[in-house]
Amino acid sequence: MTAPATDLDHLWAVLPDARRHELNLTVQAGDLDDLDHVNNTVYLAWCEAVARAHALRLDMGTAALAALGAVPVARQHTITYLRPALLGERLRVRTALLEHAGVRSVRGYTIDRLGQAAAQRLVECRTDWVWVDPVTGRPKRPPAEVATRFGF
């Protein structure tokens, strides 16, 4: 059983550094929709951005993974929107690798508003990834080096 994203706060403190990453950002005008809050698709883009930054920090970006013969492809995103983010607010986007087994990996994400006594949770997300051969597109177990580099 995989831990839900809501457990990410607890896991953050106990997971090895290689399994987690965070970014801080400020909401820009281009992030807003017609209701003057962050568009729902932007939250997903931020989740992807923190995942990419995490992989790059570990020298496991797309090019490196392709050279090893397996790349992750998103199978499913589940996003729970709790509160809107507004122009100029400072946010923290966190990700943690929750599971890595066979051809599947699972990432949890949280997006929190900063600048208050305690961070306020805005969004929780989970992405199920499938590892595939970059040439054939067929599911493929990544080499052991991938699990090791990502702290498993």
Residue ranges and CATH numbers for the domains of the chain are 5-149 (3.10.129.10)
Q: Say whether pTM exceeds 0.75.
A: yes
Q: Give the model confidence (pLDDT) of 85-140 as tens digits.
A: 999 999 999 999 999 999 999 999 999 999 877 789 999 999 999 999 999 999 99
Bridging pattern class, strands 20-26 and 71-81: unpaired
Q: How far apart are CA 116 and CA 102, in angstroms?
A: 41
User: Distance between CA 68 and CA 112 in Å, rounded?
Assistant: 34
User: If residue 36 lies in a helix (H) or strand (E), which one and from where to where?
Assistant: none
Rg of the chain's alpha carbons, rounded to an integer?
Answer: 16
Q: What is the pLDDT of residues 24-81, one digit of tens each?
A: 999 999 999 999 999 999 999 999 999 999 999 999 999 999 999 999 999 999 999 9
